Structure 1
Amino acid sequence: MPGLPLGELLRLPSLSRARPLAGDLGRLVTWVHVVDVPEPAPWVREGQLVLSTGYAWPREEGALRLFAQALARAGPAGVVLAVPQFFENFPRAALEVLAQEGVAVLELPWEVPFAQVVEEVLRRLLARQLEVQERVQVLHRALMASLLAREDLASFLARLSQLLGKEVRWAEAKEGGFAVPVPQGREPGGYLVLEGAVEDLDVQMLENAALVAGLILAHQRALAEQEARLGYAFLDALLEGRRQALTPERALAFGLDLGLRYRLGVALLPLDLPLSQRGFQERERALGEVRDLLRRKGAGAVVSASLNQVRFLLPERLDPEAFVRELARPWAFYFSRAHPAQELSTALAEVERFFCLPTPGVYVYEAHLVPRFLQGDLEARRELLALLASLRPQERAALLAWVRAGFRHQEAARALGVHLNTLRYRLRRVGERLGLSLGSPEDRFLLELAARVWSLEHKEP
Structure 2
Amino acid sequence: MNLSLEDVLKFPIFETAKVITGEGVVGKKLVEWVSVIESPVENFVRENELVLTTGIGCYMNMQSFFEFCKDVYESGASALAIATGHYINKIPEEITQFAEMKDFVIVDLPWEIRFADIIHEVTSAINNIQHDELIRLKEFQQQLIEMFLTKKPFAEIITVVEKELGLPVIVMNRKGHVIAGSANIHHVRRLWRSMERNLAAEESHHPIFSKLRRGKGKEVQLFHMKIQSSEQEQGDFFIVASSTYKIKLREVNIIEQAVMVSALWLTSESAIVENKSLLQNEFVISLTTEEEPEEKTLREKAKSLGFHIDLKYECIIGYPENLDTLFYKDGGTSHETKHSWFESMMTYIESELADAGQSVHREVMYAQEVDKLVIFLETTEFASPSTSNGTMNQFLDHVERRLNKLLPGLVISWGIGKHQDGKMAFYRSYQKALSALEVGRKQKGIGKRYHFDNTRISRLILHLSKNEEVREIATSTLSPLIKYDQKREMDLINTFIAYNENSGNVSQAARVLNLHRQSLLYRLRKIESLTNLSLTNPDDMFLLDFSIKIWMSGMNENKDRLAL
Q: TM-score band (shorter)?
A: 0.5 to 0.7
The one of 268, 276, 291 aligned to 1:219:
268
Asked whether the 8 Å contact 2:436–2:451 carries over to 1, the reply is: no
Aligned to 2:254: 205
Task: Describe how 1:68-87 pairs up with structure 2 within 5 A.
Answer: 68=69, 76-87=77-88
Shift of 1:152: 6.1
Q: 123-132 or 56-65, which moves further after superposition?
A: 56-65
Q: Which amino acid is the alignment partner of residue 313 of structure 1?
A: F
- Over the matched positions of the two proteins, sequence identity in percent amounts to 16
Asked whether the 8 Å contact 1:5–1:27 carries over to 2, the reply is: yes
Aligned to 2:135: 134
Task: Describe how 1:143-154 pairs up with structure 2 within 5 A.
Answer: 143-150=144-151, 154=155
Shift of 1:195: 1.8
Aligned to 1:336: 417
Q: 87-96 or 164-173, which moves further after superposition?
A: 87-96
Shift of 1:225: 1.7
Distance 1:376 1:158, change over 3 A: farther
Aligned to 2:299: 248
CA offsets per residue over residues 102-144 of structure 1, 9 Å max, x none? 7944123416554553344223322321332232222212211
Q: Which amino acid is the alignment partner of residue 180 of structure 1?
A: M
Secondary structure of 1:281's partner?
helix
Asked whether the 8 Å contact 2:234–2:267 carries over to 1, the reply is: no
CA offsets per residue over residues 169-214 of structure 1, 9 Å max, x none? 1255655422222114435443312222434332111101111111
Aligned to 1:279: 342
The one of 392, 395, 402 aligned to 1:320:
392
Matched, 1:374 2:475: no
Aligned to 1:48: 49
Task: Describe how 1:153-168 pairs up with structure 2 within 5 A.
Answer: 154-168=155-169
TM-score, length-normalised on structure 2? 0.56
CA offsets per residue over residues 70-119 of structure 1, 9 Å max, x none? 6567664432113355324434566688899x794412341655455334
Asked whether the 8 Å contact 2:21–2:99 carries over to 1, the reply is: no
Aligned to 1:179: 224
- Equivalent-residue separation in structure 2 for 1:193 and 1:85 (angstroms): 53
Secondary structure of 1:353's partner?
helix
Shift of 1:228: 1.9
Distance 1:239 1:348, change over 3 A: same
CA offsets per residue over residues 338-388 of structure 1, 9 Å max, x none? 54553321222211234315665655544xx2x442353789xxxxxxxxx
Asked whether the 8 Å contact 2:276–2:305 carries over to 1, the reply is: no
Asked whether the 8 Å contact 1:89–1:107 carries over to 2, the reply is: no
CA offsets per residue over residues 221-274 of structure 1, 9 Å max, x none? 212221222112111111011625953320101233343221122333353349
Distance 1:156 1:295, change over 3 A: farther
Distance 1:58 1:365, change over 3 A: farther
Aligned to 2:514: none
Asked whether the 8 Å contact 1:180–1:193 carries over to 2, the reply is: yes
- Equivalent-residue separation in structure 2 for 1:300 and 1:360 (angstroms): 25
Task: Describe how 1:286-305 pairs up with structure 2 within 5 A.
Answer: 286-294=349-357, 302-305=365-368
- Equivalent-residue separation in structure 2 for 1:180 and 1:50 (angstroms): 33
The one of 305, 313, 322 aligned to 1:262:
313
- Equivalent-residue separation in structure 1 for 2:452 and 2:152 (angstroms): 43
Asked whether the 8 Å contact 1:332–1:360 carries over to 2, the reply is: yes
Q: Which amino acid is the alignment partner of residue 418 of structure 2?
A: R
TM-score, length-normalised on structure 1? 0.67
- Equivalent-residue separation in structure 2 for 1:177 and 1:193 (angstroms): 7
Asked whether the 8 Å contact 1:33–1:48 carries over to 2, the reply is: yes
Greater length-normalized contact order (CA 8 Å, ≥ 6 residues apart) = 1
- Equivalent-residue separation in structure 1 for 2:317 and 2:100 (angstroms): 69
Unaligned stretches of 5+ in structure 1? 380-461
Secondary structure of 1:259's partner?
coil
